Amino acid sequence: MNNVFIATPSYLIKKKRDFTGGIAQLAKLGFNVINPEFPRVLPSPQEKAAQIHGAFADPAVDLILALRGGYSAMKSLPHIDFELIRKHPKIIAGFSDLSALLNPIFERTGLVTLHAPMVINLGTPTAFTLNSLVNAVRGYPEKNLFKGARLKVYHPGSAAGVLKGGNLITLTALIDTDWEIDTAGAILFLEDVDEKLHEVDRYLTQWILAGKFKGIKGLILGDFRGIRSQKVYDILASQMDLDFPVVHCPYIGHVPNKITLPVGAKVELNTERRQLVIEGMSFPGGNP
């Protein structure tokens, strides 16, 4: 698990030093970046899809790591060959805007993807973030995803399901499209950054009206930078009966300490033990 391909499925890094810092950190971790050139031109949606296809099909590539988030990853969805991805399984990682790719790739291929830090996040990472990322690409020898993380319990309980989720505004944009996330049976995690309270209220209310919380097994609220998790919980609790475990973990989202989460893994959320444990997954890095 050494060769990394840097993909540009979302937006560009503006400052070259942010890119070189991330590449240097990957080298410290023992990774070999096979395309270390600083991307200066944003690919078209078709070119983004072709880049992803090439990386999956290349036997020399072990890990496909997103350059950064931002916006526009969803534009490539109509051009992606999910059958090609299914036939050439490997790890693809990113978060935020990449939520629009991570979930559809799992749902259409069965391949677990990583909600993980990207090149832009690796210039000055914390030890927690690096340890979680390394644990992930090694196939999760440590199966408790909440180990070392803070947790607040809003609604107690224990539940098992498939881990799905990511950035709230990005996943909301996929509702009523062919790539809408299937939340039935999911342990769902959501996060966002710098949105106003009334905007988060509107997004979550749309999820409620669309029935996206019906049938979920558990809910993990990540960081909503600028909004306290209690406010986010209250939006939900004021409109629906929460008959599943709900927790807040501040180590999910646009935060320094970041848990690398396996989208598509079978997990158990246990509020009494304060754990989120992997029970199984289809993953090139290992199969717990």
Domain layout of the chain by residue ranges: 3-137, 152-280
Confidence of residue 132 (pLDDT cuts 50, 70, 90): very high
- Pick the catalytic residue: 76, 195, 229, 254? 254
* CATH T-level topology, domain 3-137: Rossmann fold (3.40.50)
Residue 284 pLDDT: 78
267, 160 Cβ separation under 8 angstroms: yes
pLDDT at 286 over 50: no
Residue 233 pLDDT: 98
Residue 72 annotated among the catalytic residues of the structure: no
Residue 283 pLDDT: 76
Instruction: Say whether 143 sits in a helix, a strand or coil.
Output: coil
Q: CA–CA separation, 277 vs 262, rounded Å?
A: 11
Residue 285 pLDDT: 53
pLDDT tens, position by position, 78-109? 999 999 999 999 999 999 999 999 999 999 99
Residue 272 annotated among the catalytic residues of the structure: no
Q: What is the DSSP letter of 162?
A: E
pLDDT tens, position by position, 31-79? 999 999 999 999 999 999 999 999 999 999 999 999 999 999 999 999 9
Q: Nearest Cα to 260, choosing from 242, 285, 240, 237?
A: 285
Residue 288 pLDDT: 37
CATH number of this structure's domain 152-280, picked from the four choices 3.40.50.920, 3.40.50.300, 3.50.30.60, 1.20.1730.10: 3.50.30.60
For 176, the enclosing helix (H) or strand (E) is none
- pTM as predicted: 0.96
Q: CA–CA separation, 162 vs 216, rounded Å?
A: 9
Residue 169 pLDDT: 98
pLDDT tens, position by position, 185-215? 999 999 999 999 999 999 999 999 999 999 9
Residue 246 pLDDT: 98
Q: CA–CA separation, 137 vs 233, rounded Å?
A: 32
Task: Provide, rounded to the nearest whole percent, the portion of the chain with pLDDT above 70.
Answer: 98
Q: How many CB atoms lie within 10 A of CB 2?
A: 13
Residue 155 annotated among the catalytic residues of the structure: no
- Pick the catalytic residue: 96, 99, 132, 229? 96
Residue 287 pLDDT: 39
pLDDT at 154 over 90: yes
Average pLDDT, the chain: 96
pLDDT at 153 over 50: yes
pLDDT tens, position by position, 257-282? 999 999 999 999 999 999 999 999 98
Residue 1 pLDDT: 59
- Pick the catalytic residue: 191, 195, 229, 268? 191
Tokens of 21: 């810092």
